[in-house]
Structure 1
């Protein structure tokens, strides 16, 4: 279980998270949704320990982010972090040297599924192929917690479908947690168990997707419009 207890994070005069308190359940696919600049990416970085809170605390199984908690997290950043001169195989060898939960069989299986080749050079890949390569490396681990920061951003529709298929392909419901930040709600609505709407560093709405749809008699996109329209006129 992941807990945010009164977490505030500022960057100069900008407040990314504002006294944020929430509990993220285990064993589910959770969407962290909201417009650009709402604090979604900062939330993930706090979990993995890349950013430290100015106030409050983040707890992962009652521990603050540390070397032990990081070893169970597979984090796919929005930025393109792969070394362009590497082949996909060299990138895989680099990553598996750091993590004991690397699964070679899963890596080979996903390689075929995503239509990639070990000899492909990162810098020569299209944006969509690079996105699939990042996903391959993130999901080839047997991580308990997978964090995906805007995995669909700027990607063509066919690649988006392949990415979503990969997310659910080997997902272990109840044993593995996946957090996805995005503002591309329509594509992922069908795979989410829980949703957290973030606005200006605060939780605007959180709940079970099916229950929210039933309560509002609307899709997640319609609920999001309702939430942010209401927030804007308060």
Structure 2
């Protein structure tokens, strides 16, 4: 497992709660809080530093921040902190009502992080693309002899989504899941990323494994890793 500190986005407009949670997270071994008072600030932190998990105010979540965080690269657990009486917006992994019970929240967050590490490791070892292992956490395709293709964040997300869909996904599905619903990204942007990704794969493998589907999507040749 990765021994680097887990970067926890802490997104809440309540300065007192944000400070309390940041102090508590900082006291936990292996956790690094990244506090933000707004969605814009959180997305900037995510772009600059990445994140392994997020604690998110329910009101901000209800304003559409969850898909924006996912599109920005947050793949780890997301826990909502909900004001009293608020329903649970879709897209979160867990939630807790305010006022927050710190012991319960920290226990849930640690359990979700452990589960995410296990799933991530299993995913990285269970998919092959041609002669390469796909390692989403490391953002690369890697051969047994050590030869590797480095991937950008978006290229990694595109391959990861195709793998999760069994190797096939429509253009709009990729746009929604990689860039986020309502992001205003057109198909040209996706096709540019696909073109660059195809060139990388073709150069490394001598064959073109990412194929345009007849019905307007993409197909990736997948092979299970032998046990």
TM-score normalised over the length of structure 1: 0.29
TM-score normalised over the length of structure 2: 0.29
Specify which structure has the higher proportion of helix: 2
Say which one has the larger Rg. 2
